[in-house]
Amino acid sequence: MSTNDTQPRSAEPYSPTDPILEIRNAEVVFEMSRGVSRVLDNVDLDIEREEILGIVGESGSGKSMLASAMLDAVVDPGVLSGQITYYPQDGEPVNVLGLSDDELRKLRWEEISMVFQGAMSSFNPTMSIKGHFVETLEAHDYDRQEGMERARQLLSDLYLEPDRVLKSYPHELSGGMRQRALIALSVVLEPDLLVMDEPTAALDLLMQRSILSLLEGLKEKYDLTMVFITHDLPLVAELATRMSVMYAFEIVEKGPTDDILRNAAHPYTRALLNSTPNLDAPLSEMTSIEGSAPDPVNVPEGCSYHPRCPLADEQCVAESPDYHQISEQHAAECFHWEDAAEAIPFNIDQTVIEEEEAP
């Protein structure tokens, strides 16, 4: 089974000294006729400068709410509370939740930019792709000539023909081209942080994987920090250096990607890994997770995963677990983190480190 001899991808120890965004006690509540719906519950998260962080969760786990919270973009009547601090490369830290509307508009796009799934609905169907770039540059008072040069460069970095794409209308491009054009648009104002919510969800797998490798190149070239939010754990595992796993509006486990793949300590993360169709696991051992995710109005007391967890005992019903540190960077919200590996064995042998990785 999984070994503890984990080798972090980088040799340096974890240094929370250079965060780009710091989230503390973030909470989002909606008042509903059925009761109070808490769709983000006390989330703490640090995003390191120039890392790729993956946030993984099923539909309705609160992951998109977390993305909106990062930009103070939670829709009414949702109420966001907590502390969100943005640290620019140079300059004073910014309290995101205390900004005026004008300051917030500047922060979005110029410092923190977002890409949503479904590029078709992000573009104006009556405007050419070029029109979108021009409009964005002008709205933020950027130099148009310089900006368009950057746009052309970005488009070719994403394997698109700048001339052809710029003069096209959104419907004239394929889904994959459209999504790549949207990514280029979102970084044309040179933001430091790019938050992507299911940026590849509607595309076929080959295009998804191709976009991932292009994103990695983009990150290196422009020193971007990326947050990649998805329900697709295996997809983001290819890209992210660190992952946070969400369940029932909380982050239940966080750590370096390799540690999570080899040695996940939360029973939910382990069950999630085992439920994923893939090409390597023996057929009979891919199993779904029993039960269903909780309703935000009625989250179970204690550990929110206890009704579905094979390890749950009285303590899990009575108390909500804190983070238990598995290694310096790897933590899980579970009382039984030491027993999880034995109780829920992985269906793929994760001790074998891939050697072949075909060229």
- Candidate residues 31, 204, 295, 313; the one interacting with other proteins per rule CB under 8 A: 204
75 contacts other proteins (rule: CB under 8 A): no
Structure-token pair, residue 182? 């949207």
Neighbour count for residue 31 (Cβ, 10 Å): 11
Q: Which of 273, 312, 326, 331 binds other proteins (CB under 8 A)?
A: 273
Q: Among residues 17 and 288, whose Cβ is nearest to other proteins? A: 288
Q: Which of 286, 300, 327, 329 binds other proteins (CB under 8 A)?
A: 286
Q: How far is CA 323 from the centre of its chain?
A: 20
Give the closest residue to 226 by CA, choosing from 234, 45, 218, 151: 218
Q: What is the DSSP letter of 81?
A: E
Dihedral (C-alpha) 10, 84, 296, 333: value to the nearest 10 degrees? 40
Instruction: Note the Cα 309 to chain centre separation in Å.
Output: 25
> Scanning residues 31 to 50, which ones bind other proteins (CB under 8 A)?
none
DSSP state of 296: T
Q: Specify the 3-state DSSP secondary structure of 257.
A: helix
Task: Pick the stretch among 64-72, 121-129, 132-140, 158-166 that binds other proteins (CB under 8 A).
Answer: 158-166
Of 210, 320, 327, 329, the one binding other proteins (CB under 8 A) is: 210
Q: Is residue 83 at the binding interface for other proteins, with CB under 8 A as the rule?
A: no
SS3 214: helix
User: Smallest Cα–Cα separation from 112: which of 186, 49, 17, 216?
Assistant: 186
Q: Among 57, 68, 66, which Cα is nearest to 248's?
A: 57
Q: Based on CB atoms, which residue is closest to other proteins, 37 or 83?
A: 37
Contact track, other proteins, 224-243, x by CB under 8 A: -------xxxxx-xxx----
Nearer to other proteins, 99 or 237 (CB): 237
Residue 18, CB-side half-sphere exposure with 13 Å CA sphere: 9
| Residue 174-203 contact track with other proteins, rule CB under 8 A, x = bound | xxxx-------------------------x
State which residue, 50 or 216, has the beta carbon closest to other proteins: 216
**Where does this chain bind other proteins (CB under 8 A)?**
9, 58-59, 156, 159-161, 164, 174-177, 203-210, 212-213, 215-216, 231-235, 237-239, 257-258, 261-262, 272-273, 275-280, 283, 286-289, 292, 348, 350, 352-354, 357-358
